[in-house]
């Protein structure tokens, strides 16, 4: 008996060490790279994220698509949009997501924040848009979401209508509560309840999307109902509230990190932070000595260049500003690598893992990033391929982004210098491999996809 107890005590730390690493993926809504201190922001206070960047890896060249749903479908499935994106606000439930990937590998999985993937914007097309089991079907054991089955039931911030694990909570039930607090509390509770199991948290936050309104740190004695979610008309007030929201987002990141530390899981958890697209066009920010106007919806850097911070205590390289290219198809492959999952025929092939960069291991980085953009919304479609300096659009426009962030000078008709000529030739071979971008907008009837299109390489 005593011998058995002694053996048990010896084996316990060994078994604990074998626990798979946890993963927490936080994706904010509508915030470009210019909103975060570690990237050169001058208007915002983001000490928690800055600390993660200082202690971990900051990727200087991460790219999304210009608006939310295409980016969400892309990051969740690891595929370029030409393979599986058809409607704004919709994810085909037949698609395999990173939720499925990790759940099948024994992870407890949760999602909190903005869903907006049931097809609620096109209820006549998607008759099953009221199915509140869709997050479960997407590989998540638990959820706390805004805009799952309801589109017009109320805003996401003060007194929000939310759906949590199959139950719809009305505005009245959440009266005077702040949506981001409810959802971040859910995340922290999930972490605490599952601290002894491997867990995956996907937290696509509702911050910092408009309407730009006060946070708990700035609201004071004002009402906290749905009427408070009405955005002020003044651009100065919009910007003031946006700054407050970015700062509060950072505070929530700190809250999640503190919970991981409190339950003893910080050293066994990879934390990733990114954004679905660039900042809203209403917002202008001082960045690195110049003014940046938000470019959400457009294909310039202002719409597609997003932060990516990765921190794994004791494992990630400390303070690295990585210049390697990353796009959203890479997240799926990276999560698989972290969890020790061998990808098979059911998994996407477009992305590649950036885990070696996090760990300081040798690797062959991406040579290019691709954006194939047809949102079927209120934005112009298009496509581009780029490296860390040059960018070539499908319509032939060619820019040196390192020198021309605003894309004011199209170099296509006057190529000069070996770097530009060489880059153009390489990018031209790539853009010629990309499938055509369908024309049309929200009312388009023809929405072709190319699931088996060869890899662009």
The residue among 328, 363, 398 that closes a domain is: 363
pLDDT-based confidence at residue 216 (cuts at 50, 70, 90): very high
Give yes or no: residues 350 and 406 share one domain: no
Identify whether 16 is part of a domain. Answer: no
Q: State the total domains in the chain.
A: 2
Same domain, 317 and 409: no
* H helix or E strand, kind and range, residue 306: strand 305-311
- Which stretch of 2-11, 68-77, 108-117, 415-424 has the lowest confidence by average pLDDT? 2-11
- Asked if residue 119 has a cis previous peptide bond (ω within 30° of 0), the answer is no
> Which residues span the domain enclosing 429?
367-457
Domain membership of residue 9 (yes or no) is: no
Mean pLDDT calculated for residue range 7-35: 75
Residues 47-59 have a mean pLDDT of: 98
Mean pLDDT of 46-75: 98
Q: Indicate whether 10 belongs to any domain.
A: no
Q: Are 202 and 110 in contact (CB under 8 A)?
A: yes
- For residues 453 and 317, membership in a common domain is answered with no
Residue 6 has pLDDT above 50, yes or no: no
The average pLDDT across 173-190 equals 98
Tokens of 98: 């990173």
Domain of 88, CATH number, reads 3.40.720.10
On average, the pLDDT of the chain sits at 95
Residues 394 and 321 in one domain: no
ω before 394 within 30° of 0 (cis)?
Answer: no
Q: Is 60 exceeded by the pLDDT of residue 5?
A: no
Q: Using alpha carbons, list the distances in angstroms from residue 203 to 178, 186, 258.
A: 16, 10, 16
CA 352 to chain centre: 16
Does 439 fall in a domain? Answer: yes
Among 64, 40, 53, residue whose Cα is nearest residue 285: 40
| Pair 261, 167 in one domain | yes
Residue 2: pLDDT above 50?
no
Residue 182 phi, psi dihedral angles, 5° rounding: -60, -45
Residue 12 has pLDDT above 60, yes or no: no
41 and 102 share a domain? yes
The answer to whether residue 7 scores a pLDDT higher than 90 is no
Chain centroid to CA 263 = 25
Q: Are residues 266 and 414 in the same domain?
A: no
Does residue 414 lie in a domain region? yes
Helix (H, G, I), strand (E, B), or coil: what is residue 436?
Answer: coil
The pLDDT value recorded for residue 16 is 42
Q: How far apart are CA 213 and CA 222, in angstroms?
A: 11
Q: Which of 406, 122, 157 is nearest to 287 (CA)?
A: 406
Strands (E), 20-70: 22-28, 57-63
Q: What is the pLDDT of residue 18?
A: 73
Nearest Cα residue to 61 out of 300, 283, 306, 299: 306
Domain assignment present for residue 3? The answer is no
Helix (H, G, I), strand (E, B) or coil at 265: coil
Taking residues 274-296, what's their average pLDDT?
Answer: 97
Q: Which of 332, 363, 394 is the last residue of a domain?
A: 363
CA 25 to chain centre: 8
Question: Which of the four pLDDT bands, split at 50, 70 and 90, describes residue 246?
Answer: very high
Last residue of a domain, one of 334, 363, 392: 363
Q: Rounded mean pLDDT of 265-270?
A: 98
| pLDDT mean over 356-370 | 97
How crowded is residue 396: how many other Cβ atoms within 10 Å of its Cβ? 11
Please count the CA atoms within 13 angstroms of the CA of 365 that sit on its side-chain side: 18
Q: Are residues 351 and 377 in the same domain?
A: no
Whether 76 contacts 67, CB under 8 Å? no
Angstrom distance (rounded) from CA 445 to CA 442: 9
Q: What is the DSSP string of 86-136?
A: -STTB--TTS--HHHHHHHTT-EEEEEEE---B-TT-TTT-TTTT-TTHHH
Q: Is residue 321 part of a domain?
A: yes
Looking at the fold, whether 153 and 72 belong to one and the same domain comes out as yes
163 within domain boundaries: yes
- Give the global pTM: 0.95
Residue 132 sits in the same domain as residue 270: yes
Contacts of 179 (CB under 8 A, 6+ apart): 146, 156, 157, 158, 160, 162, 206
Q: Where residue 10 falls among pLDDT bands split at 50, 70, 90?
A: very low
Query: Mutual orientation of helices 47-55 and 235-262 as an angle, nearest 10°?
Result: 50
CB 68 within 8 A of CB 277: yes
User: Are residues 199 and 218 part of one domain?
Assistant: yes
pLDDT tens profile 82-98: 999 999 999 999 999 99
Question: What are 397-411's pLDDT values in tens digits?
Answer: 999 999 999 999 999
Instruction: Categorize the per-residue pLDDT at 4 as very low, low, confident or very high, splitting at 50, 70 and 90.
Output: very low
Give yes or no: residues 356 and 374 share one domain: no
Could you tell me the CATH number of the domain that includes residue 440?
3.30.1120
């Amino acid at each position: 008996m005593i011998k058995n107890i002694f053996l048990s005590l010896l084996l316990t730390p060994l078994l604990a060490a074998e626990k798979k690493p946890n993963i927490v993926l936080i994706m904010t809504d509508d915030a470009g790279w210019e909103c975060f201190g570690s990237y050169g922001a001058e208007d915002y206070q983001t000490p928690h994220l800055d600390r993660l960047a200082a202690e971990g890896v900051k990727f200087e060249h991460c790219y999304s698509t210009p608006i939310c749903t295409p980016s969400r479908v892309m990051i969740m499935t690891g595929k370029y949009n030409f393979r599986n994106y058809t409607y704004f606000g919709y994810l085909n439930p037949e698609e395999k997501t990173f939720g499925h990937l990790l759940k099948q590998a024994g992870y407890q999985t949760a999602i909190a924040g903005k869903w907006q993937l049931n097809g609620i914007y096109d209820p006549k097309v998607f008759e099953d848009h009221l199915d509140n089991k869709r997050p479960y079907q997407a590989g998540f054991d638990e959820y706390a979401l805004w805009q799952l089955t309801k589109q017009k039931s109320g805003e996401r911030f003060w007194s929000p209508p939310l759906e949590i694990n199959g139950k719809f909570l009305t505005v009245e039930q959440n009266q005077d509560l702040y949506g981001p607090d409810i959802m971040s509390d859910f995340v922290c509770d999930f972490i605490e309840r599952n601290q002894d199991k491997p867990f995956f948290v996907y937290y696509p936050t509702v911050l910092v999307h408009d309407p730009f309104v006060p946070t708990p740190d700035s609201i004071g004695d004002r009402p906290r109902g749905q009427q408070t979610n009405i955005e002020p008309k003044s651009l100065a007030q919009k910007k003031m509230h946006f700054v407050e929201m970015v700062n509060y987002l950072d505070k929530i990141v700190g809250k999640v990190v503190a919970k991981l530390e409190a339950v003893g899981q910080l050293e066994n958890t990879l934390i990733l932070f990114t954004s679905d697209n660039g900042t809203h066009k209403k917002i202008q920010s001082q960045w690195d000595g110049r003014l940046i106007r938000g470019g959400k919806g457009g294909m310039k850097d202002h719409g597609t260049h997003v932060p990516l911070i990765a921190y794994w205590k004791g494992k990630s390289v400390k303070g690295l500003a990585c210049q390697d290219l990353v796009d959203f198809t890479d997240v799926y492959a990276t999560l698989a690598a972290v969890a020790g999952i061998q990808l098979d025929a059911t998994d996407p092939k477009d992305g590649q893992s950036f885990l070696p960069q996090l760990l300081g291991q040798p690797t062959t980085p991406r040579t290019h990033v691709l954006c194939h953009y047809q949102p079927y919304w209120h934005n112009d479609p298009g496509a581009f391929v780029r490296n860390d300096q040059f960018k070539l659009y499908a319509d032939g426009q060619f820019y040196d982004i390192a020198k021309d962030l605003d894309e004011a000078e199209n170099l296509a008709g006057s190529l000069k210098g070996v770097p530009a000529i060489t880059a153009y030739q390489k990018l031209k071979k790539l853009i010629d491999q990309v499938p055509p971008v369908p024309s049309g907008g929200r009312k388009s009837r023809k929405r072709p996809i190319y699931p088996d299109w060869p890899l662009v390489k």
